[in-house]
Structure 1
Amino acid sequence: MKNRKRSLRARLLLWLIVPMTAFSLVAGWLTHENARRTADLLQDAALLAAARVMAADVRWSGDDLVASVSPSTIQIVGTPQGDQVFYRVEIAGGPVIAGTSDFPETPLADSPRWYDAHVSQMPIRAVTLKRPMYDAGRIVDVVVSVGRTQIARDAMVASLWKPQLAYILGSIAAMMVLVYAGLTLELRPLERLARGLAAQPSQTRVRIDTTDVHAELHPLIAAFNACLDIIERQALTQRRFIADAAHQIRTPLTLLGIQLQYARRQHNLEDVRETLLAMHHSNRAMVSLINQLLMLAQAEAADYTAFEGEVVDVREVAARAIEKLALAAQRRGIELVVSIATPLFVTGSETLLSEVLSNILDNAIRYSPKGTQVAIDASQTAGAVNIHVLDGGPGIPTALRERAFEPFFRASDEEGSGLGLAIAREIVRAHRGTISLEDAPSGQGLLVKLTFPASELPSQNPS
């Protein structure tokens, strides 16, 4: 499915149109009902007035009742629209004394009573009332019914309803126009902002100014600017890393080129061999640097989700790191002391965690004086595995400890690439852990603290 562009203005208008349409329908229906009730009340009042006048015109003529309905009585319910008027005067339970016999008979439960009926297949509105007539000690009930067609009533409903409906629809239309104009005006700052961002050169530091932007958009802009800050820092770090890596690689390559030129000018086989040995050391240093650069790139791209379910024994991690650096420690006269009292387990990659400990141990051995110790201590507290590496070297000043994790940073002139702690920090972050540098408890040396979430002992499957 194609990704369609979504307009904020159109969606806001839609959210207004839908409820306003529902409001228009409800308001139109209520207005029509009010107009109908008003027309019905007026019509019913006219019918009742005519019926009472007709009832008052009934007289005794001897022993008989007679009704004389005058034209003025009919005019009470007459209309300019030409409505037909029907009436009937009858004795209750007896004959019709005036009017049309086609008028429908309706049981008179109460008086007066209004109802809808049909005369000659024409719908009418009618009223029926009863009047008692007294003569010589007897009572005779006279029933008077008056009805009228609905032409005038329907015209009155339309005259009352249509102007109100036109007013409602006109108000809604005017409101929608004003809302659209308001949205257009209110969205102009965003359009100006977009044009301003597009007009800025790509080399400049792009940030969004919140001066003329609505308050509701400030959190979004702040988050966007924060993302730009992160991207800018990452780009700056990447550029610095590339520059430092190029410088670090160029140095051994230049040295290797000089050694090659020197070897070509030598005729003594022994001098050539010494030059080749020096070239071998230069090549090994360059290979080590490139491997560390690749390891740093792998650590930066590491994802903790890739390690889920992989339980690593901390003792195995320490054993691999010590095996890798035992010979280097022996050559420098450094004693490695390991203290892991109980089995400890973390979730992650054994290879990467061993690389972390190897880099930290390598730095500790490199900077420790001859005849001192490098201690590795591991324990578990409050659901976390803590690994401490303590050396007897000069340590790192507090002001430089954060920079010590930057690639190619070296606190002294000691041989090394300056990538060990940078690699360690990225791997630790990928494992949801923390790494910090502190002073040694004795005041001499550096204490490196590693903390990882503890993992449960892996289940053993029966053989």
Structure 2
Amino acid sequence: MLRTFKLLLLRWREPSVLRRLLLAQGLLVLLLWLGLIAYVATETLHDTSVFDSGHRFESIIAVTEALRDQPEQLQQVLHHIDMFQRLEDGVEDIEALRMAMVVWRGDQLVYATPGEPGVVYTPPGDGVQLVERDGRRWRALTKQSQHSNTRVTLLLPGSIADLLMAMNSHGFLVLPLLVSLPLLVLPAWASVRLALRPWRRVSAEIASRGGQDLSPLAYAPRHRELRPMLNAVNRLLRRVRESVARERSFIADAAHELRTPLATMRVHAEALQAHVSGAHAQALLDGVLRGGERANHLVGQLLALMRSDAAVDGTAPAQPVMLDELLRERLAQLALLAAERGIELDCEAADGIAIGAPRESLISMLDNLITNAIKYSPPGGLVQVRLTAAAGLAQLSIADHGPGIPAEARERVFDRFYRLPDQAQSGSGLGLAIVASVVQRLGGQIDLQDSPLPPLSGSGVGLCVLLQLPCQADEDAHREAP
């Protein structure tokens, strides 16, 4: 539970365009709401119709004149009228919104609302006037009877701050916003997600691509805001694609050109061995030959890498290949190397497993895996090869008695020219990069694990390379195979 909460917290703290849009909409709604409240408050302060709604002045003047000879009853009636006005307006318990009244007969004060601004005198006929009492502002309107000297003054709070504070204290400001907020957030979230659907389609297409797929994005949006981004991405992909093509062309041309001088150097060095005497000179020539072999091996690996990259790009034709037959063929070719190093080869392969792929790519993949297993296994070791098929997948495992690869380095060994430190065997660091390129081209998976073979005395934990490759249907393989 705590871990889930932490993940949710981390997810919430991550920047989010969706959250920014929702917050922007929320702020816009809040600003509109505050603007509406300010407009309502301003209109309320300038509205004079509330003073005389229901003919307040006429009623108060009529009662005052009718009961002018009964002062006690007049006080009671005016008090009831005062209370009724507050109940009628629905603000009896809101001090900042209550209406107060003052009644005069000539210069004699007849009635004043208890506890409010007190005795207020404003001349009749001057309209609404602002009055200051005890630090508060009041709006006052006075009318006089046409038949006597009775005057009535009605007062309402005249400060917008008091009005807003009173409305907020009784939930007139925040409560409607809180009640309507869930009804606003869900439609806003749904509308924003719907609006961002084209961006998600672009993201899904990019995420579904492999690392070698540099073709233009297939999605063609009609949206004006999205087209510049897609055009920029496609231009970037084109520039990267052209740069990679130039790099591959240069490497392939350089590798091809290097093969001839390397072969010539080897022929001359071998011919020179027959004419050179002395252990020191022979050792120097042996070093030249070994260096030439390493350079020739590197050139071969570079050419194999270029061929696998061409297969990834789809420029090399794919054909149905019987993987079990090819596996036995490559093991037979490498049996001499295994015998020279004292390594035993053990193979079990199910029959009839077809893979739709360029044959040269599969040869490069198998040769690199088997050669590495032989090269890194100690004398007397075993290289165990197993090939099975299940659920439409060819499953190939190659286990050895070598030193193995630490778990923290099993991702990096697929990088080009990367080699583990303190390696006893020479190499170019391209073998597993070629294997990974071929596997990616075929839509398969590759995994490195500790070897399941029982360890030999003095050997390491060993390495087991597990491959899963999509099989081709048997009828398609037999129909298309030459």
Normalising by the smaller structure, the TM-score range is: 0.3 to 0.5
More strand, by proportion: 1
- TM (norm. structure 1) is 0.43
